[in-house]
Structure 1
Amino acid sequence: MGLLLIIIFIFFTIFISPTKPENLKLFREYIGAEFTNVKFTDVPINPNLQFDFILSFAIDYTTSTSSPTPTNGKFNIFWDTKNLPPAQVSYIKKKHPNVRVGLSIGGDSIFNNLAYFQPKSIHSWVSNAVSSLTHIIKQFALDGIDIDYEHFKGDPDTFAECIGRLISILKRKGVVKFASIAPFDDPDVQNHYISLWKKYGHVIDYVNYQFYAYDNSTTIPEFIGYFEKQRKNYKGGKILTSFISDGSKGLAPTKGFFSACEILKKRKQLFGIFVWCADESKSSGFRYEKQGQTLLTTL
């Protein structure tokens, strides 16, 4: 019996157990929203962590530059497809096996107009969103979806049901492997996302909390306090820290962002970092992306 158990253990170890441990540290970068001709290949990618590109944005509005209007869940592409086409998605994922590429939906604005979450009904919006996003995701061979609605003409319960059902269906059908949300410190925004989290947090993998939406006078202790607050708001969630490339808001890399991350690292609370955005970082040579990835890989 003892010999049999040993044989079973060896078989399980060699043939069943994963040969490579799951990559737990995550670095994410939004890309394509500002049309600065940035490419995936411009961005430094550390092979020793999970790296996600997030194409920004797909929006359920018409593509009319003069008068964009809501489409009730029929999404169109509004990122720089000239420099970030499907072929480049395939190329970067093949070149870097630790890279995934997703898309973000919503965003702040479209052609200088605010982009609203504005469903006609839960059922019709979800039906249209599943269909239109599935088409885009398969066209670009994407891996996941990020939710970044920032303005609302729908109550929190409707938002929770629409987005929660959308993510659930896309995951159940195998269209996406991961999902994230991108809230920030605004009462209306928080009401919508916390409602979503309470009902559908189990299908949301990451919280890309926009810490750069805080004032640029933010101190390191204040940043840590904000982080703790969001851990309570999104209890059990994988909260990522974040900075904006130009350092204009929040705790900038030059003013202590990475020191705050070191504190969280020592507390074993630093799951990952995300950046808005590659389009802006290109001009400075992605210096802070390199620093952030190094910090994560030395955990």
Structure 2
Amino acid sequence: MELSKIIVSFFVLQFLLFQSPINAAPGNSNIFREYIGAEFKNVKFSDVPIHSDVEFHFILSFAIDYTMSSSSPSPTNGQFNVYWDTDNLTPSAVSAIKNQHSNVKVALSLGGDSVGGSSAYFNPSSVDSWVSNAVSSLTDIINQYNLDGIDIDYEHFQADPNTFAECIGMLITTLKNNGVISFASIAPYDDDEVQSHYKALWKSYSQVIDYVNFQFYGYDKETTVSQFMDYFSTQRSNYEGGRILASFSTDGISGLSPENGFFTACSELKSKGELVGIFVWSADDSKSNGFKYEKQSQALLAI
């Protein structure tokens, strides 16, 4: 080979090796996800409009490794119990919505903010015992409900970031290897303690995490479109290479709302090839307005 061609090949290889994934757009896709069942407002899967041209994920909220059998809730070291609206969101209801819509998958979310009016802490006795209990108890629930994936939404911690990373990383890995789930997501938000735990998990186990449900609605209610775009860019850096979804809340409490420019921001992301998908908190709150923003979100993703 001529010396000039060798030199060119060398620099091409250097370019490919040192290109940072964060500089490459992850690509648009049509994933729509929605949390459901946490607020016991009698919302049913069948209440929520489902566009045939999106990949639709319901996320049952929540399964928590706490028990309410005593006078106050207490942690169970990975033995999960169901805390969503089981009157309406039953195993038969899961089967029915999946049979009716081939584009629907259903997951469960772990942790959440609170249980029985108290904070729900991630509080393992040890990595091995927690993972063993979690794999066993969640496999039972997932099989009972015919679920497809899990979401990690712990928001309070009584364990260091490395312990959290090992417990959750090993849990996801084991459930996937056992064929119990086909996808997993994490749901961090902009808080120093929360981010330290999820970034440790991402550093060690990003290869088994399919989606980042970043809670952009955790930012201030006065968030502008420009600020939202900056926040999105920051989280792409924090979770480098991750499939980060845009998000809003229909409770109107915080974050960039649909009324104030959320869909403008999504259109900008889509034009840049960065709109992986959208998720919503939550179907419970959207029932009263006829799910109008769910319809708008899915219409945008389906284009």
Q: TM-score, normalised by structure 2?
A: 0.90
| Residue type of the alignment partner of 1:133 | L
Partner residue of 1:232?
Answer: 237
Alpha-carbon offset, residue 64 of structure 1: 3.4
| Higher RCO structure (Cα 8 Å, ≥6 apart) | 2
- Counterpart of 2:75? 70
Find the counterpart in structure 1 of residue 178 from structure 2.
173
Runs of 4+ in 1 over 3 A off after TM superposition: none
- Of 108, 115, 127, the residue aligned with 1:103 is 108
| 8 A Cα contact 2:68 2:116, kept in partner | no
CA contact (8 A) 2:29 2:301 kept: no
Q: Is the 8 A contact 1:220 1:251 kept in 2?
A: yes
Q: Which amino acid aligns with 1:247?
A: G
Deviation of residue 24 (structure 1)? Answer: 3.7
1:256 to 239, 243, 261: 261
Partner deviation per Cα, 1:45-100 (whole Å, 9 max, x = no partner): 00101000000000000023740100000000000011000000000000000000
CA distance in 2, matches of 1:280, 1:66: 29
Q: Does 1:198 find its partner at 2:203?
A: yes
Stretches of structure 1 that go unaligned for 5 or more consecutive residues are: 1-22
Q: Partner of 1:239: helix, strand, or coil?
A: coil
Give yes or no for the alignment of 1:219 onto 2:224: yes
The counterpart of 2:125, out of the listed 96, 101, 120, is 120
Q: Tell me the distance in 2 between the aligned counterparts of 1:63 and 1:139.
A: 21
- Contact 2:37 2:60 (8 Å CA) reproduced: yes
What residue is the counterpart of 1:293 in the other structure? 298
Alpha carbons 1:106, 1:117 under 8 Å: kept: yes
What residue number does 2:274 align with?
269
Match of 1:39 in 2: 44
Partner of 1:10: none
Which of 139, 156, 165 aligns to 2:161? It is 156
Q: Give me the whole-angstrom Cα distance separating, in 1, the residues matched to 2:68 and 2:133.
A: 17
Equivalent residue, structure 1, for 2:9: none
Q: Report the Cα distance in structure 1 between the residues aligned to 2:70 and 2:292, rounded to whole angstroms.
A: 34
User: Does the CA contact (< 8 Å) of 1:57 and 1:104 recur in 2?
Assistant: yes
AA aligned to 2:197 is H
Is the contact between residue 206 and residue 237 of structure 1 (CA under 8 Å) also seen in structure 2?
yes
Match in the other structure for 2:144: 139
% of aligned pairs identical? 64
Any idea what SS the aligned residue of 2:74 has? coil
Runs (5+) with no aligned partner, structure 2: 1-27
Q: Check conservation: 1:65, 1:111, Cα contact below 8 A.
A: no
TM-score normalised by L of structure 1: 0.91
Q: How far did 1:246 drift? A: 2.2
CA distance in structure 2 between the aligned counterparts of 1:88 and 1:61, rounded to whole angstroms: 25
One-letter amino acid of the counterpart of residue 229, structure 1: T
